[in-house]
Amino acid sequence: MGLLALRRYIPYLRPYIGLVIIFGLSQLGSLVAAASIPKVIQFIIDGPITQHQLGQLVPMAGLLVLIGLLEFVFIYVRRNYSGIASLRMETDLRNDFYAHLQSLQVSFHDNWQSGQLLSRAISDIATVRRFVSFGLIWFLQTFVTFAVVLVLMLGLDWQLAIVVVLCMLPIAYFSNKFHDKYKVIARRLQDQQGDLTTIIEEMATGVRIIKAFGRMSLMQKRFEDQARLLRATSLEGIDARALLWTRLNFLPNLSLVAVLLLGGYHVVHGSLTIGGLVAFMNYVFMLTWPMDAIGWVLSMSEECQTASERLNEVLDSHPEIADRAGARSLEQSRGRIEFRDVGFKYPKSDEWILRGLNLVIEPGETVGIVGRTGSGKTTLAYLLPRLYDVAEGQVLLDGVDVRDLYLRSLRSHIGVAFEDPILFSASVHENLVMGRPVVSDEELKRAIEVAQAGFVWDLPWGLETRVGEQGYTLSGGQRQRLALARAVLGNPPVLILDDPLSSVDVHTEAVIEESLARVLEGVTGLLVVHRPSTLALADRVALIDGGTVVAIGTHTELMKSNELYRALLSQEYETSEKQTA
């Protein structure tokens, strides 16, 4: 069995080794209790019953009750302790999995469906836990039961014992066949569960689009097809398990017949007592349950193996964007940014999005980035906080390659607001202080004012109002203003604003610009611009085309000298000029 994939989870049990030992001992205790019952029965039949000493029957019955009680206690302790240990392990494992997911670079998440990560974090980890708490118990139980029963059988009648062993040999063959078949099914099953989760998740996030376009029936069909696929695979799994179980259950029956035939012969010839034969048959009965358990354990271990493979696929992806050996921190940043011969491709793509790009932003300066849609403006903005790393060249902050800085240090100097203003299911306050947990009330008020996000004071619970998925629903413009407040909070020396005002009305935009202009005064700004009006905030503008900076200068200069720039901006500029006039 390829249980090797499970090795990495063994350390997770280490903190709970005490619980595991208690569970192992009670396991052994319950087994000894169960195995001693046939011995007592043999003694009763061959002693008090055969010799007509009924007086001894009652104490013997009492002994049986006592053993039964002991077994009860052992089983209770075993179940409980294995449950506690495995649940704790599951929690630790899940926490580590989440931490690992967070440590992975953005490009990892670009390439993974969220449903696949979700199903791994929830159901695959639960599968590992189930195997550790039940599967391993049964595995041990079965193994030890077989060993103990075999020794006891050998003591009673070695020839009968050999017959039983011979009858059980096909276990190996059946298990092997099952393994080959079920490992494929289990993998497909868990992958399909992930796909199904993705569809549900997409429906939940895209519900407005789906409804607006009247795509409900199409989505329903996609879901049903996927659910049907999952059902077909589950049925295949049931079929494979049923076949294994019936085959395994057949073996003790087979050996029972053999034992009866040969045992009857031995009793007639006097080499075995009747009590001995009954005890022997009881031992064969004791094997029926472990045979069932083998079936369970095998299917569980396959599922667990697949689950751990799926977990390992994530856990083995190492964060590509992480602190280098010898990285240092920057106490105070002046905010000088330099892109030097930067080339960038998205992982898994051959297309150069940026190539040979050079751009210097001096401390305190704000540079606007203008370019066609899809020209790589947002991509450029990702490179400074190292959401992606360059493929060629360097990005420097204060003359230091950003890859030589601790991520935490680098990012503490940069405030960002990207195109999509994501808010989390948390209070407004928690969303705002996300990047800088230690801020004063004054700073908070100022950031809210700069971003013209004063509406937060009028929310039902003010700053404590929950927003995001499960909370108060904000408008696009409101979310954008909160995201902007989050970016400027704590006065980071570098601000990256990717089209931060696209969803606010013209009047609010003008007010925000006015206060943003004050904020940008002392800091270095990289400002991706779509609307010409925002250009008022930029000291210089860089025009990006074909992956590089094709022109740089003030807005007026570029309007004069660059045709592409004019084409991109003039029409809108004129419209907005007219509007403000």
Alpha helices, DSSP H, located in 45-169: 57-103, 106-110, 114-119, 125-130, 136-156, 158-168
| Range in contact with Mg ion (rule: CB under 5 A) among 66-74, 346-354, 377-385, 445-453 | 377-385
Q: Do the Cβ atoms of 337 and 414 come closer than 8 Å?
A: no
DSSP 286-332: HHHHHHHHHHHHHHHHHHHHHHHHHHHHHHTSPPSS-PPTT-B--SS
User: Which of Mg ion, ligand ATP, none interacts with 51 (beta carbon under 5 to 8 A by kind)?
Assistant: none
62 token code pair: 């009492």
385 touches ligand ATP by CB under 6 A: no
What residues between 102 and 161 interact with ligand ATP by CB under 6 A?
110
Cα 19 from Cα 9, distance rounded (Å): 16
Residue 106 CB, shortest distance to ligand ATP, in Å, is 8
Task: Name the token pair of 230.
Answer: 């999952």
Q: Should residue 353 be labelled a site residue for ligand ATP when binding is judged by CB under 6 A?
A: yes
Rule CB under 6 A: choose which of 214, 374, 399, 460 binds ligand ATP.
374
Question: In the complex, what is the shortest distance from the CB of residue 563 to ligand ATP, in angstroms, rounded to a whole number?
Answer: 19
Partner whose footprint covers residue 556, from Mg ion, ligand ATP, none (CB < 5 to 8 Å by kind): none
Tokens (6 digits) for 392: 């060629």
Nearer to ligand ATP by Cβ, of 138 and 418: the residue is 418
Q: Are strands 366-371 and 540-545 parallel, antiparallel or unpaired?
A: parallel
User: To 10 degrees, what angle do helices 136-156 and 17-44 make?
Assistant: 30
Q: Is 355 one of the binding residues for ligand ATP (CB under 6 A)?
A: no
Query: Any idea what DSSP says for residue 547?
Result: T
Stretch that binds Mg ion, among 1-9, 207-215, 346-354, 370-378 (CB under 5 A): 370-378
Per CB under 6 A, 378 contacts ligand ATP: yes
Distance CA 354, CA 301 (A): 48
DSSP category for residue 50? T
Verify binding: residue 373, ligand ATP, rule CB under 6 A: yes
Stretch that binds Mg ion, among 34-42, 137-145, 378-386, 549-557 (CB under 5 A): 378-386
Asked if 378 interacts with Mg ion (CB under 5 A), we say yes
Residue type, position 474, single letter: L
Structural contact between residues 499 and 528, judged by C-beta atoms closer than 8 angstroms? yes
Distance CA 8, CA 265 (A): 53
Residue 427 binding target from Mg ion, ligand ATP, none, CB below 5 to 8 Å by type: none
Q: Does 480 bind ligand ATP (CB under 6 A)?
A: no
Min dist. Cβ of residue 497 to Mg ion (A): 12
Assign 348 to helix, strand or coil: coil
Question: Is residue 346 involved in binding ligand ATP (CB under 6 A)?
Answer: yes
- Nearest approach in angstroms of CB 346 to ligand ATP is 3
Q: Does residue 349 belong to the site contacting ligand ATP (CB under 6 A)?
A: yes
Residues forming the site for ligand ATP (CB under 6 A): 110, 346, 349, 353, 371, 373-379
